[in-house]
Amino acid sequence: MKYPNLSVVVKGFLLHVDASGRSSNTHRIYEHELIRFQSVINDVPIDQVTNGHFEKYMAYLSTNFFITRQGKTPIPPRKLSQKSLSTARAILAVFAKWYSTEFELTCPFALQSIKHDTMPIEPFSKEEIQRLLDGTRETIVISGPTSERKNYKMQRHTYKRDRAIITVLLDTGISVSELCDAKISDFDPKNGRLIITGKGKKSRIIYMGNTSRQALWNYLVQCYPKDKPRPDDPLFLTNDNLFPMTRNGVLLLLKRLGEKAEVNHVYPNRFRHTFAIEFLRNGGNIYALQQVLGHSSLDMVRRYLKYFQTDMDNLTRRTSPADNWGIR
């Protein structure tokens, strides 16, 4: 039997990913990783792929591959994190298992799992959120002849969109992919209801507070001043209002706003952490939190609970009346 080349099998696997109901973001991540894998080991027949090929690719990612970006927000070259390497390994494992079943081959994949440190939970403070929101409003424009240039403050044309993104992420705890995938028909401004489609095409309903609901409504009125948007139009558009916001677009936006506001570590999941901790602080329980966040298990929610309990322990120590009054 003549087996197809790796490039053909990758296309078939991506069709399988789509048919399984995975999100467009998952498709993009799988495709990106597998095309890079193919470029490193070459387009060999699938029955000739060995565990040595997987080892060669992972060695390349570990030692010779660097992430970098040029432009307005450059990123100096850096190696992949252990978490990113673990994700790459997981994609290869799923791919190898699938094609081995499809073509009745012995699965060649035998790489050990990669352990990585869990990122600490670091919620935003109220002051940090306010600084980020303040940073969405204005920008500095330099104008005039070279010898007489002056700085002027000017309202950013994406102010309402960026304010809406920050308040929606903070108020709902949704992921950046869920934010980018949200459509006009998912938002009910009257009731503040947002329908979110998460992993595995599973939907859940989230209710927004007045602040985020108003911010999102203000943005949509500006975005569609005359034309009534279609139900399947995206909630958030790029600067020119022509294309949907992407995950990378939101990441860059938050990075720039963080630098402007002098707030460190501004990334989408930190808003999710902040929402979860505030949910617990305000009386929510872990089972309701699991449903709101769309987690399939309680593992992550228990991490939030552990952080919350430590937070409460420290607060109790600081606010002890007997200690603060110096009772003897």
pLDDT in tens, 233-263: 999 998 877 788 998 899 999 999 999 999 9
pLDDT at 106: 95
pLDDT in tens, 177-209: 999 999 999 999 999 999 998 877 789 999 999
Q: Is 327 part of any domain?
A: no
Domain of residue 28 covers 6-102
Q: For residues 227 and 287, state if they share a domain.
A: yes
pLDDT at 240: 79
CATH number, residue 278: 1.10.443.10
pLDDT at 150: 62
pLDDT in tens, 257-303: 999 999 999 999 999 999 999 999 888 888 999 999 998 888 889 88
Q: For residues 139 and 98, state if they share a domain.
A: no
Q: For residues 94 and 186, state if they share a domain.
A: no
Q: Is 88 part of any domain?
A: yes
Query: What does the alpha-carbon distance between residue 196 and residue 176 come to, in Å, rounded to a whole number?
Result: 11
| Statement: residue 315 has pLDDT above 90 | no
Query: b/e map of 146-156 (b: 16 or more CB within 10 Å)?
Result: eeeeeeeeeee
Of 234, 116, 117, 98, nearest in space to 177 by CA: 234
| Statement: residue 166 has pLDDT above 90 | yes
Q: For residues 20 and 61, state if they share a domain.
A: yes
Q: Is 72 part of any domain?
A: yes
Burial of residue 310 (number of CB atoms within 10 Å: 0-12, 13-18, 19+): exposed
Query: What does the alpha-carbon distance between residue 60 and residue 66 come to, in Å, rounded to a whole number?
Result: 10
Q: For residues 215-220, give the mean pLDDT.
A: 94
User: What are the structure tokens assigned to 308, written together?
Assistant: 């919350």
Which is more confidently placed, 32 or 202?
32
Q: For residues 78 and 138, state if they share a domain.
A: no
pLDDT in tens, 43-94: 999 999 999 999 999 999 999 888 776 555 566 778 888 888 999 999 999 9
Q: Is 115 part of any domain?
A: no
Q: For residues 90 and 144, state if they share a domain.
A: no
Q: For residues 248 and 213, state if they share a domain.
A: yes
Q: For residues 132 and 75, state if they share a domain.
A: no
Q: Rounded mean pLDDT of the chain?
A: 87
| Statement: residue 153 has pLDDT above 90 | no
3-state secondary structure of 205: strand
Q: For residues 14-43, give the mean pLDDT.
A: 92
Residue 92's CB is within 10 A of a number of other CB atoms, namely: 19
| Statement: residue 142 has pLDDT above 90 | no
At 146, the amino acid letter reads: T
Q: Is 120 part of any domain?
A: no
Q: Is 117 part of any domain?
A: no
Q: For residues 166-180, give the mean pLDDT.
A: 95
At 100, the amino acid letter reads: S
Of 302, 273, 308, 274, nearest in space to 290 by CA: 302
Query: What does the alpha-carbon distance between residue 90 and residue 87 come to, in Å, rounded to a whole number?
Result: 5
Q: For residues 83 and 161, state if they share a domain.
A: no
Q: Is 328 part of any domain?
A: no
Of 55, 41, 40, 49, nearest in space to 111 by CA: 55
| Statement: residue 116 has pLDDT above 70 | no
Q: What are phi and psi of 292, to 5 degrees?
A: -65, -40
pLDDT at 149: 61
Q: For residues 69 and 160, state if they share a domain.
A: no
Q: Is 324 part of any domain?
A: no
Q: For residues 76 and 198, state if they share a domain.
A: no
Per the structure, the count of domains in the chain is 2
Q: For residues 58 and 143, state if they share a domain.
A: no
Question: Is 183:233 a contact under the CB 8 Å cutoff?
Answer: yes
